[in-house]
Amino acid sequence: MEAIGISLKEALKSAQCEDRLTVGVYESAKIMNDDQDSVSFCVLATDVECECDIALQIHFTLIQSYCFDNDISIVRVNDMQRLAEIVGDKTGQLEDAHCCLITNSADGSWEDPALEKLHLFCEESRSVNDWVPEITLPKR
């Protein structure tokens, strides 16, 4: 199971380098609203504090529904701080790393093997009715 966490980290880093990563619930919702066909993959991050945040849970429900309706692969990670370290700036600080979107490359190429592994993982999870599988991100 650790390999899929490494694939997620690689896909996020690759998307970030290629400017195909959107971080933040509101920023992600804007992309989904403005250019839904560009969205390839969605990561939702939870931690103990956010389980009490009703507004955030409503956003998560809406994002999940949107992803299901538009055949967008979606996973959940349980360590928002670690996700923020991966997708954040040098300090690893991000105000809102609860949602990350990976968009398709402008030229439409699907050359990211890590992202392909993640799509396959999600497909396999859905086949056993695990609609939003949880992935553990690797430590540094």
Please give the Cα distance from 108 to 110 (Å, whole number).
Answer: 7
7-44 confidence digits (pLDDT tens) = 999 999 999 999 999 999 989 999 999 988 899 999 99
In this prediction the pTM is 0.91
- Cβ neighbour number for residue 4 with a 10 Å cutoff: 21
pLDDT the model gives residue 137: 93
pLDDT the model gives residue 46: 82
**What DSSP string describes 12-68?**
HHHHHHTT-EEESHHHHHHHHHH-GGGEEEEEEE--TGGGG-HHHHHHHHHHHHHHH
CB–CB of 42/66 below 8 Å? no
Q: Indicate the residue type of 15.
A: A
User: Exposed/middle/buried for 55, CB within 10 Å: 0-12, 13-18, 19+?
Assistant: exposed
The closest of 116, 122, 125 to 14, measured between CA atoms, is 116
95-117 confidence digits (pLDDT tens) = 678 999 999 887 766 578 999 99
Mean pLDDT of 83-104: 80
Q: Is 126 helix (H, G, I), strand (E, B) or coil?
A: helix
Whether residue 94 has pLDDT greater than 70: no
